[in-house]
Structures are given as C-alpha cells and as structure tokens.
Amino acid sequence: MSVKYTPVQWNRVKYCYDALLVAGTILFLAVFLPLPPEALGHTRPVDPQITNARAFGACAFVMLSIILMIGPLARLDDRVLPLLYNRRHFGVLTCLVALTHAYFVLNWYFAFSPTDKWAASLSANTSYGQALGFPFETLGIFALLCLLVLAATSHDFWLKFLGAPLWKGLHMLIYPAYAAVVGHIALGALQSQEVTTFAWITAFLSLGVAGLHLAAALQARMSPDPQAHAVPDPAWREVCDVTDLREGFAQIAQLPDGKRVAVFLHEGQISAISNACAHQNGPLGEGRIVNCLVTCPWHGFQYDVRNGQSPAPFTEKIPTYRVRLKGSRVQVDPVANPPGTPVPPVPLSKAARV
C-alpha cells in the first residue's frame, strides 16, 4: 500500500526556522539548569536528576504554550504569520523534549521499582476520587501519548493517507494534551513548591493561551458581515467594498456552504480562490501575492490566483470563483469552479460592473 504525496521542499527559511528552534531550546535549558534550589522553590539542595526532569518539563510546557499561541496571534496580527511556517517541526521538537523529561522522571523516581517503570508510574497513585490527590502522573502520560501521536503523524504521508479533515481532527488532540499538561503541573510539581514564581508563570501561560483563542474568536465574530448590506441578487455573496482591498492581499468571507473564499487584488485586478490550501487546508487568504502567486503561510505551497494552479512542476490545484463588481461592492459566485479552473480577473478600472 502506498500513498502519493508531494513533500515540502527544504529551503533556507526552513533551515533558519529549525536552527532558531534548537537554539531557543538550548538557551532555555542553559538558563534553567544552573538555577539555585531556592529559585526552584526548594530550601535544600536538589538532586541533579530532579533538576534535569524539571528543566525539560518546564521547557516542553513553554514550547507547547507558544505553539498554541501562534495560531490566534497570527489571526490578530498578520506580522506573526511567519511563525506559522513549519510549525510541525516545532511540535516534533516539543515531543522530543517531553520524552526527555519522562526519561529523567522514570529513571529517578522509579529506578528501583520491582515492576515495569511505566506500570509503576500508573500504579503509584490511584486516588482518582480526590481533587488535589488526583494522579497527576496519568495526566502527564496521556499528554505524552498525544504528543507522540501528533509527532508520528506529522509527515505528509499521513496527511495524504488520512485526508485533510481526519488529519486535522486528529491533530486537535493538542488541546486536550495541553489541558492535561496544565493539570499535570498544577497537581504535581506546583504542590511541592515553596515559592509561587512557577505557579504564576504556569497561570500566565495557560491563561494567555486561553485568552488569545478567545480574543481571536471574538474578533472573527465581531468582524462586519458584508451580507449585512442589501444585496438584490442573493445568488452572489458580497465580500467587501473595493476600498477594503489592498494590493497583494486578500479579503476573506464565508460562503453559504461553510467554505471560505479569499478575494485578492493583484495589479489592479480582482481574483477569488478557495481559502484552503490543498496541502493541509492552510489559510491562503493570510498569504501574500508575489508574481501572481499566493504563498500559503503554513508550508509555502503556492497557487496562481487566476487559475488556482501551482506552478510547474507542482500539480496541486484549488477551486476558483467568479467575481463581479456591483457598484463599489465586490461579489463572488458561491458555486466553486473545479480545482484549477482559469477565471479572468475583474479589472477595477474597466466596466466589468453590473
């Protein structure tokens, strides 16, 4: 059994992105590991193995928090969009750091257990009916399993094999995994802290993740709906006013079927394509046009906005939409054309109006 897929090509940006991820991880550990015991909430010396476990655990939590902040931040401010690029590598590195944390924990706290270390970690505390005494080890193992699944299925093979909707649904495990990590920290490491510094850091990061997602959702809900204007012809979906368009950028609207369309202005002409990248359903409307090609901000796939086709030798295609102007209002036909269908752009300066 085999699945044909088009791998994302390595380039200078990817190398720089990954180099910064590794450098940031090393810097975090280099700062954390030499911290004195009192900075870690202890009044007595701490064994190096415990310090190692906490350093890698704290690093994994910070990395996971940043990963979950990037998405809503990019929707609130498009200057954050470059951080979306290659985010899967960020997730894989986070999984490796979390595995290292688990290695130090198992080989210190359960080094001399007569049973298997993983079994011992699950059977050491079985007070599932308590709140503060809840087995935080179980939460950590659950989160680690989620991260392993996400890392193992991050390759393009699984995206093509499972299909974008199922693959994306599987990767939503990142949210219950994060909730489990917060619980793992709150019921575990923070219970033995004699200072509140790490409790405040944990609360700041977890509330930051929740707050940014809420802010992004509220912004999307509060954005003006172009359909609030009177549109005599309900067969066409009104997107925006021509004054809202910016050269090289898109306006995004949701269609009656739930899909999103991205309307671009390029060289004084308007074109409309699907907002979903054929690779991983990335938000094409958040990309920018260069030489008539819009680049997906997630993994760099490109499409010609006039026909929805990737430049040769690539073969990816996305649906296109017909566009028209009604006065100064930009409208699209909500019925998508087959992927890769050329559609003549609508010039702003000509009488392509109805």
Report pLDDT digits (tens) over 242-282: 888 888 888 988 888 888 899 999 888 999 999 988 887 88
* 3-state SS assignment for residue 238: strand
Residues 196 and 118 in one domain: yes
Residues 156 and 277 in one domain: no
Report pLDDT digits (tens) over 135-161: 888 999 999 999 999 999 988 778 778
Residues 260 and 198 in one domain: no
Q: Which of 206, 222, 238 is a domain's end point?
A: 222
In a domain, residue 19? The reply is yes
Q: Which of 222, 252, 269 is a domain's end point?
A: 222
pLDDT of residue 223: 62
In a domain, residue 354? The reply is no
pLDDT of residue 1: 35
Residues 276 and 138 in one domain: no
Location of structure tokens 């970690």: 121
Picking from 173, 205, 171, the residue whose alpha carbon sits closest to that of residue 186 is 205
Picking from 183, 92, 191, the residue whose alpha carbon sits closest to that of residue 138 is 183
Residues 196 and 74 in one domain: yes
3-12 contacts: CB < 8 A, separation 24 or more? 3/157, 3/160, 3/161, 4/160, 5/156, 5/157, 5/159, 5/160, 6/156, 6/279, 6/314, 6/315, 6/316, 7/156, 8/156, 8/279, 8/299, 8/300, 8/301, 9/300, 11/300
Q: Which of 167, 195, 222 is a domain's end point?
A: 222
Residues 160 and 24 in one domain: yes
Residues 195 and 237 in one domain: no
Location of structure tokens 């102007």: 325
Residues 197 and 54 in one domain: yes
Low pLDDT (below 50) residues in the chain: 1-3, 226-233, 351-354
Range of the structural domain that residue 237 is part of: 227-347
Residues 45 and 134 in one domain: yes
